[in-house]
Amino acid sequence: MIAALPHVTRLARAGFVLAREGVLALIDTRALPPLARWAIALARLVERPRAQEGAGRLAAALTRLGPTYVKLGQFLATRPDVVGAAIARDLESLQDKMPPFPQAEAEAAVAAALGKPLHQVYASFGPVVAAASIAQVHRAEVVREGVRKPVAVKVLRPGIERRFRSDLGAFFFAARKAEQVSLEAQRLRLTEVVATLARSVAIEMDFRLEAAAASEMAENTREDHGFRVPAVDWDRTAREVLTLEWADGTPLGDHAALRAKGFDLPALGRAVIQNFLRHALRDGFFHADMHPGNLFVDDDGRLVAVDFGIMGRLGAKERRFLAEILFGFITRDYRRTAQVHFDAGYVPRHHSVDSFAQAIRAIGEPIHNRTAEDISMAKLLALLFEVTGLFDMRTRPELLLLQKTMVVVEGVARSLDPKLDMWSTADPVVREWIERNLGPIGRLEGAVQGAGEVGRFAGQIPQLLTRGALLLDQLDAITRDGLLLSPETVAAIGKAEARRSRWTTLGLWTIAALLLWIALMLV
Active site members: 289
Question: In this structure, are residues 120 and 127 in contact, taking their beta carbons and an 8 Å threshold?
Answer: no
- Rounded Cα distance between 215 and 211, Å, is 6
Distances (CA, A) of 135 to 60, 63, 266, 499: 20, 16, 33, 64
Amino acid identity of residue 12, one-letter, is A
Q: What is the DSSP letter of 32?
A: S
The helix/strand/coil state of 518 is helix
Grouping H, G, I as helix, E, B as strand and the rest as coil, residue 224 is: coil
Q: Are 25 and 47 in contact (CB under 8 A)?
A: yes
CB 412 within 8 A of CB 291: yes
d(CA 258, CA 272): 15
Report the distance separating Cα 277 and Cα 427, nearest Å.
10
**Helix, strand, coil % over all residues of the chain, rounded to 5:** 65, 10, 25
Opening angle at CA 302, ends 298 and 303, nearest 5 = 90
Q: Torsions phi, psi of 391, nearest 5?
A: -110, 30
Q: Nearest to residue 258, comparing CAs of 297, 218, 310, 211?
A: 297
Instruction: Tell me which amino acid residue 165 is.
Output: R
What's the first-to-final CA gap in the chain, in angstroms?
63
E strand segments, 157-313: 227-228, 241-245, 250-251, 285-287, 295-297, 303-305, 311-313
CB 156 within 8 A of CB 202: no
User: CA-to-CA distance for 306 and 247, rounded, in angstroms?
Assistant: 8
Could you count the other beta carbons within 10 Å of the beta carbon of residue 194?
21
Instruction: Give burial (CB, 10 Å; 0-12/13-18/19+) of 315.
Output: exposed
Q: How far apart are CA 98 and CA 134, in angstroms?
A: 9
CA 484 to chain centre: 52
- On whether the CB atoms of residues 232 and 138 are closer than 8 A, the answer is no
The number of residues making up the chain comes to 523
Are the CB atoms for 243 and 210 separated by under 8 Å?
Answer: no
* Closest of 440, 441, 321, 435 to residue 381, by C-alpha: 321
